[in-house]
């Protein structure tokens, strides 16, 4: 009789079984070997192939599966320090396939996505920036690595299935500068995997002009015009001009709309002194602290409904 397995259990059984059959095995042979329904095994084999743990080749009309060469499987429960170091090594080696494989492996093993962001993605981003600030990375390398990280965040976003969002929490994320794009994207992803109604506007810094504030105000108001509940504008800034522009826009929207609207700032430590006279609900220069605040807000709002 076949039994039900979790993805992690099937992954371990498939990897172990294929490790003992270097010549490869068909889907039917694997299904019989690990006692899984043959329809079910095909779905899981495709998932493990996408993760990069196994590969298939067609021999005649049969798919033959083999263990991917160089697979260093991640043990569960996760040792986040080990995984983060492994992920960072792949990033600094410009190995997109390995980086993606590590993330997909974790995602399909039902790990908590927000913890993956806090324990793996953010420390890696901080380390890359620190290496750059020390002069050990060039500008081109930094741009490449930031783009690679952004692509990998999209991998998480694509594979996370947000079935229904919480209609009582509406978050908008805006980056005021190019170097804030990743931070804003990470925050929006935390919001999304927490099932909040989430809008990511990206970097608007390059569009700032005397008339753009009106356009931005109009569109945010339009996004939220028929939505009830708590609304939060997250602004990520690294210089004075973007900070003043976005705060002015957010303050106007907060005064115009009748619902509860919160303004949250994520800024570089260098411009913290510029925020002392601004009216905001929360401010941080450490991304993990801001994520904890967001998660606590979501928890409080959900408790009320």
Distance, C-alpha 291 to centroid of its chain: 12
Q: How many residues does the chain have?
A: 305
What tokens were used for 293?
Answer: 């605040």
DSSP codes joined into one string, 137-173: S-HHHHHHHHHHHHHHHHHHHHHS-----EEEEEEEE
Instruction: Tell me which CATH code domain 166-304 carries.
Output: 3.40.50.280
Q: 57 with 66: CB under 8 angstroms?
A: yes
Q: pLDDT, tens digit, for every residue of 194-246?
A: 889 999 999 998 888 778 888 999 999 999 988 889 999 999 999 999 999 99
pLDDT at 72 over 80: no
- For residue 174, the model assigns a pLDDT of 97
DSSP H helical ranges for the chain: 7-19, 27-34, 38-51, 80-92, 96-107, 113-116, 122-133, 139-159, 181-193, 212-224, 240-256, 287-304
Domain 7-67 has CATH 1.10.10.10: yes
pLDDT number for residue 1? 47
DSSP 74: P
pLDDT for res 102: 85
Asked if pLDDT for residue 121 goes beyond 80, the answer is yes
Q: Which residue has the higher pLDDT, 59 or 186?
A: 186
Residue 231 β-bridge partners: 170, 261
Residue 30 has pLDDT above 80, yes or no: yes
Specify the pTM. Answer: 0.81
pLDDT tier for residue 70 given thresholds of 50, 70 and 90? low
Whole-Å CA distances, 211 to 16, 55, 138:
62, 54, 36
- Look over the chain and give the mean of its residue pLDDT values, rounded to a whole number: 87
Q: What angle do CA 223, 228, 231 make, to 5 degrees?
A: 65
Give the neighbor-by-neighbor strand order of the sheet with 54-59. Answer: 25-26, 62-67, 54-59
Lowest mean pLDDT among 16-20, 112-116, 164-168, 269-273: 164-168
Q: How far apart are alpha carbons 305 and 49 in whole angstroms? A: 41
Distance CA(65)–CA(83), nearest Å, equals: 26
- pLDDT per residue as tens digits for the range 74-105: 666 678 898 999 999 999 999 988 888 888 77
Statement: residue 248 has pLDDT above 50: yes
| Domains of the chain, residue spans | 7-67, 80-159, 166-304
pLDDT of residue 305: 61
Pick the CATH number of 80-159 from 1.10.1240.10, 1.25.60.10, 1.10.10.60, 1.20.210.10: 1.10.1240.10
Please state which of the ranges 54-63, 105-114, 129-138 shows the lowest mean pLDDT.
105-114
């Amino acid at each position: 009789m076949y039994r039900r397995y979790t993805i992690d259990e099937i992954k371990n059984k498939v990897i172990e079984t294929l490790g003992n059959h270097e010549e490869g095995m068909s889907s039917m042979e694997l299904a019989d070997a690990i006692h899984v329904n043959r329809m079910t095994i095909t779905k899981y084999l495709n998932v493990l192939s996408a993760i990069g743990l196994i590969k298939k080749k067609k021999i005649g009309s049969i798919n033959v599966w083999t263990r991917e060469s160089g697979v260093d499987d991640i043990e569960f429960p996760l040792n986040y320090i080990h995984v983060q170091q492994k992920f960072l090594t792949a990033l600094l080696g410009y190995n997109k396939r390995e980086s993606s494989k590590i993330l997909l492996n974790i995602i399909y093993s039902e790990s908590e996505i927000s913890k993956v962001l806090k324990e793996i993605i953010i420390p890696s981003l901080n380390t890359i920036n620190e290496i750059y600030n020390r002069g050990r990375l060039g500008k081109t390398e930094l741009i490449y690595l930031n783009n690679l990280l952004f692509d990998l965040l999209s991998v998480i976003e694509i594979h996370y299935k947000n079935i229904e969002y919480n209609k009582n929490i509406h978050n908008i994320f805006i980056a005021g500068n190019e170097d804030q794009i990743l931070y804003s994207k990470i925050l929006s992803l935390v919001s999304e995997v927490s099932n909040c109604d989430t809008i990511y506007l990206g970097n608007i810094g390059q569009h700032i002009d005397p008339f753009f504030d009106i356009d931005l105000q109009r569109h945010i108001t339009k996004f939220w015009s028929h939505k009830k509940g708590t609304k939060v504008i997250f602004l990520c800034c690294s210089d004075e001009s973007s900070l003043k522009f976005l705060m002015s826009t957010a303050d106007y929207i907060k005064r115009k709309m009748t619902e509860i609207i919160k303004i949250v700032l994520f800024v570089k430590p260098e411009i913290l002194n510029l925020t002392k006279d601004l009216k905001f609900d929360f401010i941080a220069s450490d991304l993990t602290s801001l994520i904890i605040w967001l998660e606590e807000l979501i928890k409080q709002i959900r408790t009320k409904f």
